[in-house]
Structure 1
Amino acid sequence: MVSIAKDPREEVIEAWYMDDSDDDQRFPHYREPKKFVSLDKLAELGVLSWRLDANKYENDEELNKIRETRSYLYMDSIEVCPEKLSNYEGMIKKFFEEHLHIDEEVRYCLEGSGYFDVRDYNDVWIRIWVKKGGLIVVPAGIYHRFTLDSSNYIKAIRLFVGDPVWTAYYRPYADNLPARKQYVEIFGLRENTAHHAINDSVIRRVDEF
């Protein structure tokens, strides 16, 4: 029998289809039976991933190569936990509202872990668990959300092309944004035919995780 080498990224990034339960958002929300999603499948949705050595991020040639190749000029770090984040419970709920950005959302987990949820081709939620050493790129225009898991802690690097813009556009009003239309076109999704006006009530210019 020929053994198939495991992708090292799978040790720090896992993905699965979520159930429809209203239980705590920090729970895994596995289906029964569990239905996992490969990293290759995520890539088909535009979600890219790497495994890096989080213990040497300050002098990591591989991280520097990714930054250079993808033009990530901006970098900072953020900690999300009850002790470090003002209005913690309110912010966690805000991060979990379905939204999109007009630029990539790039996060590199240095400590702890958290969940990034993204919509698939059929508008079904896929939960992506990112742990220490995992770097994830959530493409512009994809509907997504974030929450911590039950450990209630993550420290992550945020990467950005140029100056950071933390604007979130909320569904369904973001359907008509150029970034959304481009995402739908590139990845072959069915475009929502409903039309909604964009106004300040559905745009939030706040510091995002």
Structure 2
Amino acid sequence: MVRAWFMDDDPSDQRSEHQLNPPEFLELAELFNNTGVEYFKLNGATYESDGLLDKIRRERGYSYEDEIVCSKECLPDYENKLKNFFTEHLHTDEEIRFVIDGSGYFDVRNGKDDRWIRIEVIAGDMIIIPSGIYHRFTLDTKNFIRAKRYFVGEPVWLPYNRPADEMQCRKEYLRKLETGFAA
């Protein structure tokens, strides 16, 4: 099961857990209510045939997919890419990731007081980060993740670094934060 917790703002190694002492964990319902982030657990051995991934893709209109591998061996200019992924930003579309192998962290801002929430993802985890939420990504100390990315239509992969509060997707996200997210 995915773990999510509030982070401290320690600017040291981004790949460590940065847990408050003691950690303040969130349940999945709290994560969704505070951020709109959705979570699905898929079976790594059967996801291609059990129908759950196909059902999610069909219901949400995901028509394009690709795969990304992040590691020192596979990602050109590795350290700079990781720094770019870790820069706080938002997107105009949802960010969908299904982890096939490896692990990492997605950090999202909660809506109430702008605190970081760290979401640990491992093989079998699928998360959907809503459009307009400030977030970032980093690997953990294992330095490896292989994940599928899904998109509605052609992929749009433009990060808008913070501040981007005047963007329509951000305004819509904040409206949903006030009125409640629908799963």
Partner residue of 2:67 out of 71, 77, 82: 77
- The alpha-carbon deviation at position 57 of structure 1 amounts to 3.2
Partner residue of 2:58 out of 46, 68, 83: 68
- For residues 71-115 of structure 1, the C-alpha deviation after alignment (integer angstroms, 9 at most, x for no partner) is 111111110000000000000000000000000000000000010
Q: What is the TM-score with the length of structure 1 in the denominator?
A: 0.83
Relative to structure 2, which stretch is displaced further, 55-64 or 32-41?
Answer: 55-64
Which residue identity lines up with residue 63 of structure 1 in the other structure?
A: L
For residues 40 and 127 of structure 1, what CA distance do their matches in structure 2 show? 15
The secondary structure found in structure 2 opposite 1:184 is helix
For residues 91 and 55 of structure 1, what CA distance do their matches in structure 2 show? 30
Q: What do you get for the CA RMSD once the two structures are aligned?
A: 1.1
Partner residue of 2:27 out of 31, 34, 38: 38
For residues 29 and 146 of structure 1, what CA distance do their matches in structure 2 show? 14
Q: Which structure has greater helix proportion?
A: 1
- The alpha-carbon deviation at position 20 of structure 1 amounts to 1.9
The residue that corresponds to 2:81 in the other structure is: 91
- The alpha-carbon deviation at position 38 of structure 1 amounts to 1.1
Q: Which structure has greater strand proportion?
A: 2
Which residue identity lines up with residue 7 of structure 2 in the other structure?
A: M
For residues 180 and 105 of structure 1, what CA distance do their matches in structure 2 show? 14
For residues 160 and 55 of structure 1, what CA distance do their matches in structure 2 show? 23
Partner residue of 1:141 out of 95, 117, 132: 132
Matched, 1:106 2:92: no
Q: Which runs of 5+ in 2 are unaligned?
A: none
Q: Which runs of 5+ in 1 are unaligned?
A: 1-9, 190-209
- For residues 130-159 of structure 1, the C-alpha deviation after alignment (integer angstroms, 9 at most, x for no partner) is 110000000000000000000100000001
For residues 118 and 41 of structure 1, what CA distance do their matches in structure 2 show? 13
Which residue identity lines up with residue 147 of structure 1 in the other structure?
A: T
Which residue identity lines up with residue 76 of structure 2 in the other structure?
A: S
For residues 22 and 171 of structure 1, what CA distance do their matches in structure 2 show? 17
Bigger relative contact order, structure 1 or 2, given CA contacts below 8 A and separation 6+? 2
The residue that corresponds to 1:177 in the other structure is: 167
The secondary structure found in structure 2 opposite 1:34 is strand
For residues 37 and 105 of structure 1, what CA distance do their matches in structure 2 show? 21
- The alpha-carbon deviation at position 181 of structure 1 amounts to 0.3
For residues 164 and 60 of structure 1, what CA distance do their matches in structure 2 show? 26
For residues 110 and 103 of structure 2, what CA distance do their matches in structure 1 show? 22
Matched, 1:22 2:11: yes
For residues 16 and 104 of structure 1, what CA distance do their matches in structure 2 show? 21
CA contact (8 A) 1:98 1:143 kept: yes
- Superposition misfits of 4+ residues, deviation over 2 angstroms: 55-60
Q: Which has the larger radius of gyration?
A: 1
